[in-house]
Amino acid sequence: MSTIRGAVEQSRERLIALVLLLERAWQYGALTQDQIVRELRIDEYPVSAKGPRKVLAYEGNEGAVRQKFERDKVRIRELGFEIETEPRDDGTVGYKVDPSSGYAPLIYFTPAEERVVKLALRLCGFGASGAFSVFNEVPASDGGLESSMYYTPVVRALHLHRALTFDYQSGANKPRLVEPLLIRVFNGVAYLVARVMGSGEIKGYRFSRMTSMPVVLPDTFEPDDATLELARTWRAEFTKSPSPIDVVVTTNENYADLLVRQFPGALAAHKKDGKVEVGLSLDSPRVALRFVLDAADRIRLESPKSLKVELAEWLKQVNRGKTPPLETLKFAGPATNDVLGQTLQLLHAVYVAEDGLRISELATRFSLDPAHVRLIMDRLVSLEPMVGSTDGTGAFPAHVIKECDDWDDEASDDSSYRADFSDLPEGAEEPSPYMWRDLFELNIALREASRVYQDEAILSAIERIEEATSSFVQVEMTTNETLLADVKLAVDDHRQIKVLYTSGVAEAPGVRSIEPREIKVLNGHTYVRAYCTTRVAWRTFRVDRINAVLATSPATEERPADPVTNWLTQVGEEGDEVVVVLEAYLRWLFEPLPNAQWRTLDDGRHAVKFRVANETFLNYLMLRAGPGAVVATPKYAKAGHELAKRIAAQL
């Protein structure tokens, strides 16, 4: 549970007051820094008397006040809000926030659509940092989508057909000026596909490599059909012009069956020695090399010869090179609690709940102490930061009403909070509770859910979102999960299934009896959490590695509670800490690792810190990275060496 700290709460009060004040200024007139500094008042924390006394939000000398004000503006912009400046005749500058820069159009979901939205966010969403707690009544666990504040301005720019500028890390970190066309999601990884400003070149930009908040420019454009078609066919591959290549490998019968299921069009032929020869066509030599490395020592490459030569050279350079001393590689600590974002999420949850929400309900959803919820929400009820310059709380845009069962014991009452928009001007729309990034998250989560659940409400909810934002998202999945429906049925009907399963590094499948409990999606793969009666423990299984369902039966026994809450990203939360130094072009391979931390070195290379549950995982990761990546952690300095030797011996 979060604890209440005076400095944090005073910062929260100041930030929420400032952002709501600047939103109000959009309608009533921009406010100068002098006006805000002179008149903005907040409650003092910690409370020293019976009740908090009002103090100036910005106190101190002129330099300190200016620095604090500038920091607050940055934090507001980091949530995707656009702070506009308005020059005055007297030389001063007024500030205001366009609410539509952060908030998407208001959408009313039907009860059926709201039900599938809740379901979709449990399957694949941002987790605690997204819209989960706005819709679901339980605390958020880990999410399967890459969370980023950068979605908000990008989605807005797509909606308005306006240009964007942002800093981007590729070979070097430099600014980009683009005309956004659509967002493409490949196996759970989101890219902005855009036309480079001033040229006809179509490029893709991975959100996780953006290094500054994208700025929506006033320049508008209207893409033609040919440009949009080019954007729809853009792929996240290394080669600009795909050159298909035919590859032949030999493997055992089990892995051959897995390849035929995962690569439509693949052909298999049984050989006399019990091996199976598999032929498949891949998009390019680079894709073919990645395929061979992913399969590692479970296959033997037969042809083409050019690929065998390239593979031999690659294997010689696995985890080879120099790194700085490990003790010199310092990483930034975990991000501090985003008090502004947290407060807005609480506010949005109340906006969405037609009958309001009690303190206990909000505390459960957001994993907060009830006293903390009371403190935050009471502030939203009575917030009146510039009483001399406004018409009272009714004109201030928080719109939260508090209701108590026992006003005489208000401090202990499980009070409820609801939205009240009765004071809005005639004809004015209710404030939207959805950020642009929320609608992006809902869109992707619903599309993922449509692969698992057959429900018309999922499709109608997607249509409703895209009517409000225009259609801008394209999702592509390459994973073939033929037994997903069987697994889902076992979850729904609380059944035990006996499966033939190939783990990530095994050559032969094993028989497991499992009782599936929950399905989630991460990095384009569907995972199921199940109690494994074979191992007598909770385990996570990747659905596309289930070769067959051999038998089903009712699950009749009581099982111990799952000890792991965030089971989807557990690989990133336990095990040994490892640091790898790599060239910038290899970031794509390490970016999907949950909870990874990054820094850029003086020589242009990147360092990434993450945790590994076992050395086998790291061996295969370094094999795939090949030239350009080296482990800086001494314990794992030889990771991948033996694996590379085994594969080279078969060439």
Quickly list DSSP for 310-358: HHHHHHHTTT-S----GGG-----PPPP-HHHHHHHHHHHHHH-TT-EE
pLDDT of residue 421: 84
**pLDDT tens, position by position, 51-68:** 667 778 888 888 888 899
What mean pLDDT value characterizes the chain? 87
pTM for the model stands at 0.81
Asked whether residue 135 carries a pLDDT value surpassing 90, the answer given is: yes
- Which of 116 and 510 is assigned the larger pLDDT? 116
Asked whether residue 171 carries a pLDDT value surpassing 80, the answer given is: no
Asked whether residue 562 carries a pLDDT value surpassing 80, the answer given is: yes
pLDDT of residue 389: 52
The arithmetic mean of pLDDT across residues 44-49, rounded, is 63
- Choice among 231-235, 457-461, 632-636 with the minimum mean pLDDT: 231-235
Asked whether residue 413 carries a pLDDT value surpassing 50, the answer given is: yes
- What DSSP character marks residue 78? T
Q: pLDDT exceeding 70 applies to what percent of the chain?
A: 92
CA–CA dist 651, 311 (Å, integer): 9
Asked whether residue 138 carries a pLDDT value surpassing 80, the answer given is: yes
Asked whether residue 365 carries a pLDDT value surpassing 90, the answer given is: yes
Side chain identity at residue 279, one-letter code: G
Question: Coil, strand or helix: which one is 306?
Answer: helix
Q: Which two tokens stand for residue 204?
A: 């893709």
Asked whether residue 297 carries a pLDDT value surpassing 60, the answer given is: yes
Asked whether residue 379 carries a pLDDT value surpassing 90, the answer given is: no
Count Cα neighbours of 295 within 13 Å in the Cβ-side half-sphere: 23
**pLDDT tens, position by position, 90-109:** 888 999 999 899 999 989 99
Domains of the chain: 1-98 (no CATH), 245-316 (3.30.70), 484-565 (2.30.30), 571-649 (3.30.70)
Q: Which two tokens stand for residue 129?
A: 């940092």
Asked whether residue 393 carries a pLDDT value surpassing 70, the answer given is: no
pLDDT of residue 395: 47
Phi, psi angles (nearest 5°) of residue 66 = -60, -45
CA-closest candidate to residue 256, choices 514, 510, 507, 551: 507
The arithmetic mean of pLDDT across residues 399-426, rounded, is 87
CA–CA dist 566, 129 (Å, integer): 14
CA–CA dist 428, 407 (Å, integer): 33
Asked whether residue 13 carries a pLDDT value surpassing 90, the answer given is: no
Asked whether residue 195 carries a pLDDT value surpassing 60, the answer given is: yes
Reported as a pLDDT band with limits 50, 70 and 90, residue 391 is very low
CA-closest candidate to residue 130, choices 120, 143, 114, 117: 143
pLDDT of residue 241: 56
- What DSSP character marks residue 495? E
Identify the H or E element spanning 639: none
Q: Quote the distance between the C-alpha of residue 198 and its chain's center.
A: 31
Reported as a pLDDT band with limits 50, 70 and 90, residue 17 is confident
- Choice among 294-298, 415-419, 441-445 with the minimum mean pLDDT: 294-298
Which residues have CB under 8 Å from 625's CB, separation 6+? 318, 319, 580, 582, 586, 589, 590
pLDDT of residue 645: 95
Reported as a pLDDT band with limits 50, 70 and 90, residue 549 is very high
**pLDDT tens, position by position, 236-279:** 764 455 688 999 999 988 888 888 888 888 999 998 888 999 99
pLDDT of residue 7: 67
pLDDT of residue 278: 94
Asked whether residue 572 carries a pLDDT value surpassing 90, the answer given is: no
Q: Which two tokens stand for residue 648?
A: 């080279």
Q: Looking up tokens 């500094």, which residue turns up?
A: 37
Asked whether residue 584 carries a pLDDT value surpassing 90, the answer given is: no
Name the strands in the sheet holding 629-631, side by side, starting at the edge strand that comes first in the sequence: 597-600, 606-612, 576-582, 629-631
pLDDT of residue 392: 42
CA–CA dist 331, 327 (Å, integer): 11
